[in-house]
Amino acid sequence: MKVSKLLLAASLLCVALLTVLAPAFSAVAQDNTTPTPAPIVTATGPAPAGGGAGDETPVPREIQALRAARAVLSKKIGKRITYVKAWTWELLLFKDSALGCPAEGQTAKPGDTAGYRITITDFDNKEYELHVTYDLSQVFMCATVGSAASTGGSPLPAPVGGKAINGPFEAGGQIQDFNAGTVDKMRSAGLKWVKVQLAYGDGRGPAIISAAKNQGFKTLLSVKGEKSQVLNPGYFDQFAAFVGGLAASGADGIEIWNEMNIDREWPTGQINPATYTQMLAKAYNAIKAANGNTLVISGALAPTGFAGAAGKSDAVWNDDVYYQGMAAAGAGQYMDCVGAHYNEGIVPPTQNSGDPRDSYPTRYFGSMLDRAAAPFGGKQVCWTELGYLTPEGYGPLPGGFTWAQNTTVAQQAQWLAQAAVLSAQSGRVRLMIVFNVDFTYYGADPQAGYAMIRPGGGCPACDSLAAVLK
């Protein structure tokens, strides 16, 4: 009888303990069948309160990761952290078991490991970076923000101070030259910027800047390097010195490279947003050291889904995947503006569906803006090429461009004006460069079909843009 009572008492005690401990266990228990996630976009937001013990609302995994990181940070700095000034999260595939930030004396095992990159800014404006495994079982505190784990290479330098995002939305156009007709048409349209693309080492930069200023325009120079040189030691420093010289000459904006997500512009098999970020960081610092007012724009990507569901191949990375890789590598701190292209539209920019080809996001203005902006939080976008192709006045389009065969000049004019309005009203766009104003080549690459100035000298797009820009 005494034994039975003792067993009964012990059983009741076990039940009570399990009742007390169950919430703690359930807070960290994970579904082991959940597949390793693909990288997704950055999200930002205010830090949540701790949450009451009786709150049964499901807690998103990223919030759980934040809480785990916050608890470890509190112990590391010896101060309880309940609220923070700002925080960000990214879900990434790291290259080792310590998520790139091993503790002192710890040896990390190589291999892809899913986890969260959490950055926390406290109310003293101190910023911390912590990496949390996807199952929330381990938290690693990084020595510096923007660590090698996030960049895929050497730690990035501290960015030079100086921002150029102070003014309202503006528009401009890419030009072939400064002839009188081009200048007059641009003025009539209300365009304030001229864009010219230069190759590394091209000595025309200072003359172009001077000519633009003499005509009352701001200058955007899109600078491409030599793709065969990007893996050579010291080349990034040479490229940075070149663009720094253009900033010193008075360039109002500089775009760092062009469409580096395809092997036409970057070596086959070496396309990598982390490598590009290393170059961008050097270029940004050189430009800001020379002229803090120069707008630094990341190289706009080729809009594409060519790599399919994999997102990347030796020859091409889909633009959305590449943008996410740039953000994960810390590129956002080395740009004033995210460079973007939109040049395959055959429906109005107000539409997010209805393209007769398919519904892929690169077909639509709105989804292309989202693809560029989303990974970088509040960073503004600069359209460095935005245009609508029409064969009117030239004849049939060559193979590969027949998708635009039915677009008219009137539609081109209307859609460019609508794109300007949508860009300005979004609050997410700093600059829109029309591709293009005055190109005349109409062949295998029908650039003249994008031109605002049409055969015979007319410019319907000048009138439509003037109505919204002046």
pLDDT confidence of residue 167: 58
- Phi/psi at 19 (5° precision): -65, -40
**195-239: pLDDT as tens digits:** 999 999 999 999 999 999 999 999 999 999 999 999 999 999 999
The kind and range of the H/E element at 91 are: strand 86-96
Domain 170-469 architecture: Alpha-Beta Barrel (3.20)
Q: Is the confidence at residue 362, as pLDDT, over 60? A: yes
Alpha helices in 251-351 (DSSP H): 273-290, 319-328
Whether residue 432 contacts residue 386, with contact meaning beta carbons closer than 8 Å, is answered with: yes
pLDDT of residue 161 exceeding 80: no
Write the pLDDT tens digit of every residue in 344-357: 999 999 999 999 99
Average pLDDT on 301-314 reads 96
211: tokens are: 């000519």
Where does the pLDDT of residue 103 fall: very low under 50, low under 70, confident under 90, or very high at 90 and above?
confident
SS3 331: helix
- Beta-carbon count within 10 A of 160 CB: 16
- Pairwise CA distance, residues 147 & 149, whole Å: 5
Does residue 334 have a pLDDT over 70?
Answer: yes
Percent of the chain topping pLDDT 70: 84
Give tens-digit pLDDT for 38-87: 333 333 333 343 333 334 456 788 889 999 999 999 999 888 888 887 78
pLDDT-derived band of residue 146, with 50, 70 and 90 as boundaries?
Answer: low
| Boundaries of every domain in the chain | 43-50+59-145, 170-469
Mean model confidence pLDDT for the chain: 85
Number of H helices, E strands in the chain: 11, 13
Q: What's the whole-model pTM score?
A: 0.70
pLDDT in tens, 264-300: 999 999 999 999 999 999 999 999 999 999 999 999 9
Which of 69-73, 384-388, 435-439 has the lowest average pLDDT?
69-73
Q: What is the pLDDT of residues 396-427, one digit of tens each?
A: 999 999 999 999 999 999 999 999 999 999 99
- Residue 353's CB is within 10 A of a number of other CB atoms, namely 9
CA distance 369 to 427: 11
